Amino acid sequence: MPSYTAPIKDVQFLLHDVLGVSNSGIPGYDELEADFTGAVLEEAGKVASEVLAPLNPVGDVEGCKLENGLVSTPTGFKDAFEVMKEGGWTGLDCDPDYGGQGMPYVLNTAVGEIFSGANQAFTMYQGLTHGAYSAIHAHGTDKQKAKFLPKMVTCEWTGTMNLTESHCGTDLGLMRTKAVPQDDGSYKITGEKIFISAGDHDLSENTIHLVLAKIPGGPEGIKGVSLFIVPKYIVKDDGSLGPANGVSVGSIEEKMGIHGNATCVMVYNDSTGYLLGQEHKGMRAMFTMMNEARIGVGMQGLAQAEVAYQNAVIYAKDRLQGRAVTGAENPDGPADPIIVHPDVRRNLMDQKSFVEGGRAFLLWSANLIDRSVRADDQDAHGLVSLMTPVVKGFLTDKGFDMTVQAQQVFGGHGYIEEHGMSQFVRDARPMLWTGAQRCS
């Protein structure tokens, strides 16, 4: 079985020796002393290695199941989700007004990489909820925020984003999902969305879907798209759950990887929705979540490269084949470990260079986001806007390449499921998410 160890030393080096977080002058960063961040990362590492990583192959083999309209997650996921909630990991950087801990985004990103490296499919349930939280926090009314955010922060309720339809992906102006205005100010949402990660599951009591739809009579194309909050179950004014809201799962997509996350076809049948932001300005509101998701997908590419590299190094130290060109390194054994061979060393150093440089790039970008939001730095905001698709594109493209290189270290054994390298390669493939590379 593959293993995972959180790269705490490298993260600490980047936070304190490269970014100098505690002395940066960014509001809220004064708490990020080395002892504090070290303690947070150590605890995250324990959860990752002891709770999440053992479930990674379980999720890959079992996948999610749809029976009688209900989606169930793999064995152990529900208990692990409770560990995440009880530890406060779901609201690490969320607004304290809604029950979050208010930590900087850069620390949340570092922790997110650790959890993704241990179990990407599992971590996505919370990650997508965080993105939906951010969109509502940025664009919702006070009433919407009070109604939905506290339980999204704790992940008692989870969240999704619904963009893609079978006939439209990158060109969302072609969507057919409709939102018909009602007398009470709500809308009736009707349509079908595909590729909805964490679309339904048994980890939370309610799911808050953010759904792009068109209001009849609005502008043509992308200018006519609006964004709506559509809960799986109606939320009453007192915060309790009401009846089902006409939201159902058509099917679970059969994917190449990330089997432990339920990627669903979602069907909306006169479901009650609430406008998030302004009419016909849905893409503006959705891109709050989309941009966060793009950073997250880049983080996932890096995380898969890291865990694949770790396991490749372990194998290269243990696997005995041939002798070093400079003479026997293991003279008492039948052969030398393959890590002594030049091309294996080149391969491993290539991977190591990427994961260390990629992590620096990721945390630098997260630091820019904090500068933009916490310090109202307009230059940082502009740079973040430019670099967000680069983070997603570069880290996923190269992250996938590095998992393939890690698999190559194993030779034929890398193609055998018991070593877990196949899963890392398959799980690293979603460079396709949040828009195909070079056309999103």
Query: How do residues 250-288 score in pLDDT, each as one tens digit?
Result: 999 999 999 999 999 999 999 999 999 999 999 888 888
337-390 tens-digit pLDDT: 999 999 999 999 999 999 999 999 999 999 999 999 999 999 999 999 999 999
pTM of the model: 0.95
Q: How far apart are CA 350 and CA 111, in angstroms?
A: 24
Distance CA 296, CA 301 (A): 9
Q: Which of 247, 164, 155 is nearest to 205 (CA)?
A: 155
Label residue 33 exposed, middle or buried (CB < 10 Å: 0-12, 13-18, 19+): middle
Q: Computed over its alpha carbons, how large is the radius of gyration of the chain?
A: 22
| Class of the CATH-defined domain 158-280 | mainly beta
Is the CB of residue 288 less than 8 Å from the CB of residue 139?
yes
CATH code, 8-151: 1.10.540.10
- Bridging pattern class, strands 263-275 and 187-197: antiparallel
- End-to-end CA separation in angstroms for the chain: 37
47's enclosing H/E stretch is helix 34-47
- Delimiting residues of CATH 2.40.110.20 domain(s) in the chain: 158-280
Distances (CA, A) of 123 to 89, 127, 385: 11, 6, 25
* Residue whose tokens read 């504090």: 36
3-class secondary structure, 119: coil
Asked whether the predicted pLDDT for residue 169 surpasses 90, the reply is no
Listed in order, the ranges of the chain carrying CATH 1.10.540.10 are 8-151
Q: Range(s) for CATH 1.20.140.10 in the chain?
A: 284-429
Mean pLDDT for the stretch of residues 187-209: 98
Fold entry, domain 284-429: Butyryl-CoA Dehydrogenase, subunit A; domain 3 (1.20.140)
Q: Where are the alpha helices (DSSP H) in 203-281?
A: none
